[in-house]
Chains A and B, each alone.
Chain A
Amino acid sequence: MLEARAVSLRQPAYLERVSAALPEGALSVILGPNGAGKSTLLHLLGGAIRPLSGAIWLDQQPLPALSAAQLAQHRALVEQQPARPAGMAVATLLTIGVAGSNPGARQQAIDYTCIHDLLQRDCATLSGGELARVHLARALHQLLASPAAARYLLLDEPTAALDIGAANLQLSSLRQIARQHGIGVIAVLHDVNLAVQHADHVLLLKNGTAMACGSAEQVLQLPMLQALYESPLRELRDASGCRAFIATQA
């Protein structure tokens, strides 16, 4: 379990006593309007930012008790705008954060993200979507090669550079990874409907406070989402029970 226990922060974003428990082996999604503090919360969970008060707990240990190297065995993070290091081959990028070699983990990471054709390319020549996949593969490699039991993959808007089909595919494979390897995947998303389709667990963040945190069916309800985005929404449902939310005119 990766837990935020009453974390507060003023800079770079305002967060007020946010508590949330994010399980392993499931896809958790953080939703909220622009400026709610989603990315900041993700970096708090990753340990790059220290809270003003409260603490992040990983597997019954507070984060500051772990060294940078230990932390890297438990969690990996893909930033919203990942770096594009000129002159670095994709194959080299994949090795960053992985001590030693673990061909099995490497191959799995490559297979999940379908980057076989990109391995010899220079990172500077990749398209936005390719770059996102390559960084996801790097983070996956870091976790799959780790001997730790509790592992979390933190993703800051992983679908931002992807079209609707690619985004859908990516989230379903992320969910599959979470189940197969017992990894907790935690993704900040903007698209409510991707969360409706794929999330096991949802945290709603508004103005720096946790509005709701729980199973996707519980949390992703029309009144809650309308309050979250302060926007009139409609819920659509087809015969198979598939749901979607669209914004309507005010």
Chain B
Amino acid sequence: MTTRSWLLLLASLTGLASVISLFAGHDAASSASALLQLPGFDPLQRMLLLELRLPRIVSAAAAGALLACAGLAIQARFHNDLAEPGLIGISGGGALAAALALAAAWPAQLVSVAAFAGATLALLAIQLLAHGRSAAKLLLAGVAVNALCGSLLTLLITTLPDNGLRNVTFWLMGSFSGASAGQAMLLLTAAGLIAWQLWRQAPFLQALQLGDRAAFYSGFNVGREGWRTVLLATLACGLVVAQCGMVGFIGLMAPHILRRLIGLQLRALLVLTPLAGALLAVLADLIASQALYPAELPVGVITSMAGAPFFLYLLARQRGAHA
């Protein structure tokens, strides 16, 4: 199958999942009549669909695309297929900073800014700790940063009053519910821009597959271009953490599933990864909202429950390949 047909397939699957998600829990006929404003439609249902469901689905898709882009970018930059924004501590740093801002009772916009700053700081720490060292060191540095952020978060939760606690849980486990139309548009625009910028970096990322030094010899300022790649990943991940909290493993799963399906051609991956991420996130959100209906699960629970075993599987396979 060509990249173009995969693109069509993934886009239609994402569209299908979105429609299922939009109508989930209601009968399709009444939902459709509400959407199309057919005679006798229920205005309340129309409002529910357009102002609650639709922004939520768009947010989920855009956040999934952003996380998948971040994962692919980090994997390419650090020559490490197991790297993922959540695993190397970027999301953890963001969530910790967001929780701190919440504890200080900052307004919502500033909480997002704090989440972004936290993600950037965590990334800086990891870059300093692990740059130029082995792939394993990068993951280990991430583990340490994650552990530190996790324990500080727990410390924060135990000292927070009860109403603050609910918000912190949101940051920890992630959720797309309650996304506004504005948030959805922001994430969608960011997803488009970041996927495009990453695509523009394709020549650099391709040269990087030959190693940092070979990329320099073929004309790339590896330090500067590499920072740009990592910055794009941080931007993507920081935005998602700021809007939706920590949603783990999509950045790991989306590129890897694609690698299994379509092979390792970088340009094809750059095109398809955002869509695969969107599809995964919409599906995870659908499961999170419907599995224990009317109760709602945090979407991060679903992605981690699927992602952690997936990570272990990749780890086992990698070791097998090296033995």
Nearest-neighbour CB distance to chain B for A38, whole angstroms, equals 16
Q: Is B265 an interface residue (CB 8 A)?
A: yes
* Among candidates A72, A86, A89, residue contacting B217 with C-beta atoms closer than 8 Å: A72
Q: Is A48 an interface residue (CB 8 A)?
A: yes
Q: Is A130 an interface residue (CB 8 A)?
A: no
The answer to whether B210 touches A96, judged by C-beta atoms less than 8 angstroms apart, is: yes
Q: Is A16 an interface residue (CB 8 A)?
A: no
Q: Known interface pairs A83-B209, A85-B210. Does A97 touch B218 (Cβ–Cβ under 8 Å)?
A: yes
The answer to whether B219 touches A97, judged by C-beta atoms less than 8 angstroms apart, is: yes
* Among candidates A46, A75, A83, A92, residue contacting B211 with C-beta atoms closer than 8 Å: A83
Nearest-neighbour CB distance to chain B for A100, whole angstroms, equals 11
Kindly supply a per-residue 1/0 record for chain A positions 87-116, scoring 1 wherever the CB is within 8 Å of any chain B CB and 0 otherwise: 111001100110100000000000000000
Nearest-neighbour CB distance to chain A for B263, whole angstroms, equals 5
Residues in B neighbouring A99, C-beta threshold 8 A: 219
Given contacts A83-B214, A92-B265, A97-B207, 7 further A-B contacts (CB under 8 A): A72-B218, A76-B217, A79-B213, A87-B259, A88-B209, A96-B203, A96-B207
Q: How far is the CA of A82 from the CA of B259 in the complex (A)?
A: 23
How many chain A residues touch B (CB < 8 A): the figure is 27
The answer to whether B264 touches A142, judged by C-beta atoms less than 8 angstroms apart, is: no
Residues in B neighbouring A77, C-beta threshold 8 A: 214, 217
Identity of the chain B residue whose Cβ is nearest the Cβ of A83 in the assembled complex: B210
The answer to whether B214 touches A142, judged by C-beta atoms less than 8 angstroms apart, is: no
Q: Is A60 an interface residue (CB 8 A)?
A: no
The answer to whether A73 touches B210, judged by C-beta atoms less than 8 angstroms apart, is: no
Contacting residues of chain B (193-224) with chain A, CB-CB under 8 angstroms: 203, 206-207, 209-211, 213-214, 216-222
How many chain B residues touch A (CB < 8 A): the figure is 20
Nearest-neighbour CB distance to chain A for B139, whole angstroms, equals 20
Identity of the chain B residue whose Cβ is nearest the Cβ of A75 in the assembled complex: B217
Count contacts between A and B, CB distance < 8 Å: 63
Q: How far is the CA of A75 from the CA of B218 in the complex (A)?
A: 9
Q: Is A250 an interface residue (CB 8 A)?
A: no
Nearest-neighbour CB distance to chain A for B83, whole angstroms, equals 17
Q: How far is the CA of A142 from the CA of B219 in the complex (A)?
A: 10
Q: How far is the CA of A23 from the CA of B207 in the complex (A)?
A: 29
Identity of the chain B residue whose Cβ is nearest the Cβ of A138 in the assembled complex: B218
Nearest-neighbour CB distance to chain A for B225, whole angstroms, equals 9
Q: Is B11 an interface residue (CB 8 A)?
A: no
* Among candidates B206, B213, B218, residue contacting A92 with C-beta atoms closer than 8 Å: B206
The answer to whether A72 touches B219, judged by C-beta atoms less than 8 angstroms apart, is: yes
Nearest-neighbour CB distance to chain A for B116, whole angstroms, equals 30
Please name the 9 residue pairs, one residue from A and one from B, whose CB atoms are nearest each other, closest first: A87-B264, A72-B219, A97-B218, A85-B209, A83-B210, A68-B221, A77-B217, A69-B219, A96-B207
Q: Is B156 an interface residue (CB 8 A)?
A: no
* Among candidates A47, A48, A82, A88, residue contacting B264 with C-beta atoms closer than 8 Å: A88
Residues in A neighbouring B216, C-beta threshold 8 A: 47-48, 68
Residues in B neighbouring A88, C-beta threshold 8 A: 206, 209, 264-266
Q: Known interface pairs A96-B206, A97-B207. Does A48 touch B219 (Cβ–Cβ under 8 Å)?
A: no
Q: Is A67 an interface residue (CB 8 A)?
A: yes
A-B contact pairs, 29 of them (CB 8 A): A43-B213, A48-B216, A67-B221, A68-B216, A68-B219, A68-B221, A69-B219, A71-B219, A72-B219, A75-B217, A77-B214, A79-B211, A82-B214, A83-B210, A85-B209, A87-B259, A87-B264, A87-B265, A87-B266, A88-B206, A92-B206, A92-B265, A93-B210, A96-B207, A96-B210, A97-B218, A97-B219, A99-B219, A142-B219
